[in-house]
Amino acid sequence: MRQVSIPMSKVPTNGNIHGASPTHKLGLVVSEVLTNASRYAFLGRDAGTVAVEAWTDPSQMIVRIRDDGVGMEQKSGRTVLGSKIIRSLIAQLDATIELDSAPNAGTKATSRLPMQQK
């Protein structure tokens, strides 16, 4: 059995995430990325860490999920973050997601979501 540690930071909020049901959609994005990490990041390893960080600035919320797993190769002509669910939810949130990964260097997914001021 693998042991995976998931430290999480508290999310400060100073506005509302743009769009209908954004908290639920963001939760689904985080869940899907965490599921992918638990399935693929630690193949051939007994332990690993996945960190979830979130913070805001005046115009956006940033959510970063990173692992210290096996990483993955970038494939040209194809979206590496191949989940239709993640892409669909990110589009509905008017957000972006960036993926940074390399073999044996872990993976980092960073989402940026627009904020509306109260």
Q: Determine if the pTM surpasses 0.85.
A: no
Q: State which fold the 3-116 domain adopts.
A: Heat Shock Protein 90 (3.30.565)
Read off the tokens for 61.
């919320």
Mean pLDDT, rounded, of the chain: 79
Domain ranges of the chain: 3-116
Rounded Cα distance between 11 and 6, Å, is: 15
Share of the chain above pLDDT 70, in %: 72
Q: Give the H or E element holding residue 36.
A: helix 22-40
pLDDT in tens, 48-90: 999 999 988 889 989 999 999 999 876 644 444 557 888 888 9
Longest dimension (CA), the chain: 47
